[in-house]
A and B are shown apart, each in its own frame.
Chain A
């Protein structure tokens, strides 16, 4: 056991001190926080100038629409300004060409075409150079909607002073029913669970591949023969997997702590960035974190032993890229199955895929986060994972002890099976 410990220590210390580790550990939270702040700023951004709009009106709507353009900029200037109205033009096409030309020259920002049958459902056209600006489009659409609705009402003899008060919808709040109570929901459960599963996915792949590279590095530098003459291959493999696990665990811990901090102080950060912006309150249940940790460990040992076996099988980086594909694909498939589970976490399909040992580290955690399944399912998934892992570690150790001394041609599946029988 002392030798296992020595191998763990070497693996852990050399990795944790590497620049790559320090960089990724710091970069990911900084990057995520950056994206969060950036998206809050973008989402609540306001135009900095009044939009000049022209209206090509075949329906006699211009006045009501113009009345709907009520938005104000920060400096008190109106958000929209109707600079030109063409009512029932001689030639529709000619008028359009002219307006489009003005938009191109910057005289106008955009123009609207209101067709004759608009009250009966004919579409209003919004011509703009930037169809991606959803906020402007939504504001204009709101004004047009209001105009159309109030016109329909007045056609039925209803006069309305304050239309927006009339057409305002009902409030709608989602409440998540959890194990211990209910909590208001604004989509944050999904965000939390998805981020957690994303971290799981990334760490499984990154540290699985790291284990493989580590095995391969000892093989290509040939130091492995000295190691094999100093300790049992199984101890070397165990030490390596545990050492890399320690590094992954450290990183996972740093990231989740950062995640908890961000979710706790997220409102304060958002408020500092953009006062008044609405940010949902995030909450990561402790039970979810513990389950995530357990499944991370089970999943890591499972995949790390597979990756280690791959590292022992091949003799070069290029080869390892090919041979690792099936293993990486398993994790990717697990991750890609999440929409199926998300739609109905309690369905049979969700149950089955989340019990498959190769998928459960990701999908069971996903289910637990969305809609905690009965305990027996979680326990069964964990038990299956652990059992599979034990079996795979045994097989991987056999492949490892033969593979580390084999150079040159990569073994075929038949040869691999023979390796398992070597004494």
Chain B
């Protein structure tokens, strides 16, 4: 079954069409990456799935029924712009937001307590939100997102502003929720996170669906056309072969896109002739980052 189905959804603001005839399906239990450049219509799409906005055209199904107030209660939403009532106490905020999602207040209080303990915030439960550090506020907000055990989670840049320890804490919880059957929609600009976590993606640009499918299938469709090389010595050899379409240098690692039909052996040969020391030479599928840039920049050109 599909957790979310968008069918020809269009949303206009005055003269701007934020989302244009967008259709997509999100498989239940998947981690789904919603990608796109700034202003592509990601937040508008998420807001429509949350019923914060209502589409001008098309229909949306969430967890097997048309989107409604009832479906709202079964979704957890972490918006990109974070914020809580700064003058309320941590526990009060969590109980209020939990109750707003349909929990009884005693149930919400209980769950808030156990989540605060798990995220090492128990000592702060009677403190005001404004007394917490930014990272702690982020964690409280994450608790507010998951406190009602939503079968569908929508996370917009969930790791922004978190240190590596807290980021991995949140990541573990996300994966654990998926184990328990939750579907997760992840919206982020961090392509390496998408590659590590997502099963399927949808790339939208200017409100339109430009690339959609299982991540593995998408990458396979490009084939192993990229060389990942680690070396020491003169790097010019790559371009000199004339077999390279595009080079991405990250310092220690270089990713080079091969021209169609080029033989990677030729490149290895050229490197050895020039006396470059190779410590890694790997033929891989193109990184998502490149696919993203190609699809988006291609559309702009």
Instruction: State the A residues within 8 Å of B (CB).
Output: 3, 6-7, 10, 14, 217-218, 220-232, 405, 415, 418, 423
Contact = CB atoms under 8 A, between A and B. Distances in A.
B52 to A, nearest CB: 4
24 contacts: A3-B100, A6-B96, A6-B100, A10-B96, A221-B84, A221-B85, A222-B82, A222-B83, A223-B83, A225-B52, A225-B81, A226-B83, A227-B100, A228-B50, A229-B52, A229-B72, A229-B77, A229-B79, A230-B73, A230-B97, A231-B69, A231-B100, A418-B14, A423-B56
Given A10-B96, A223-B85, A423-B54, A230 B101 contact: yes
A232 B69 contact: yes
Contact of A221 (B69, B73, B83, B144): B83
Chain B interface size range: 20 to 34
Interface string B82-100: 1111111000000011011
Given A6-B99, A405-B47, A418-B14, A14 B87 contact: yes
Contacts of B54: 423
A382 B196 CA distance: 64
Contacts of B83: 220-226
Contacts of A222: 79, 81-83
Contacts of A405: 47, 52-53
B75 interface: yes
A230 B72 contact: yes
Interface in B90-137: 96-97, 99-101
A222 B84 CA distance: 7
Interface of B: 14, 47, 50-54, 56, 69, 72-73, 75, 77, 79, 81-88, 96-97, 99-101, 144
A263 B61 CA distance: 63
Nearest to B85: A223
Nearest to B145: A226
Contacts of B47: 225, 229, 405
A398 B23 CA distance: 28
Most B-side CB within 10 Å, residue of A217, A226, A418: A226
A10 B75 CA distance: 22
Contact of B86 (A6, A7, A221, A229): A221
A217 B84 CA distance: 10
A226 B77 contact: yes
Contacts of A415: 14
A220 B85 CA distance: 10
A222 B50 CA distance: 16
Contacts of A418: 14
10 tightest CB-CB pairs across the interface, nearest first? Answer: A222-B83, A221-B83, A229-B50, A230-B100, A222-B81, A225-B79, A229-B77, A228-B52, A223-B83, A423-B54
Contacts of B79: 222, 225-226, 229
B53 A226 contact: no
A14 B95 CA distance: 14
A178 B217 CA distance: 88
Contacts of B84: 221, 223
Nearest to B44: A405
A323 B85 CA distance: 24
A221 B84 CA distance: 6
A258 B211 CA distance: 69
A222 to B, nearest CB: 3
A198 to B, nearest CB: 30
Contacts of A3: 100
Contacts of A224: 83
Contacts of A218: 85
Contacts of A423: 54, 56
Contact of A229 (B51, B56, B85, B99): B51
A405 B53 CA distance: 9
A12 to B, nearest CB: 12
A229 B51 CA distance: 6
A10 B95 CA distance: 10
A224 B97 CA distance: 11
Contacts of B87: 14
Given A14-B85, A225-B47, 8 more contacts: A6-B96, A224-B83, A225-B81, A226-B79, A228-B50, A229-B50, A230-B101, A405-B47
A3 B56 CA distance: 26
Contact of B97 (A14, A221, A226, A228): A226
Contacts of B51: 229
Nearest to A228: B52
B11 to A, nearest CB: 9
Nearest to A218: B85
Contacts of B82: 222
B88 A229 contact: no
A224 to B, nearest CB: 8
A221 B82 CA distance: 8
Contacts of B144: 226
B137 to A, nearest CB: 10
Contacts of A14: 85, 87-88
Nearest to B101: A230
Contacts of A6: 96, 99-100
Contacts of B72: 229-231
B67 to A, nearest CB: 11
A223 B87 CA distance: 12
A405 B51 CA distance: 13
A238 B69 CA distance: 16
A218 B77 CA distance: 16
A225 B53 CA distance: 11
A270 B52 CA distance: 60
Contacts of A220: 83
Nearest to B83: A222
A418 B15 CA distance: 11
A191 B174 CA distance: 66
Nearest to B154: A229
A312 to B, nearest CB: 14
A358 B69 CA distance: 35
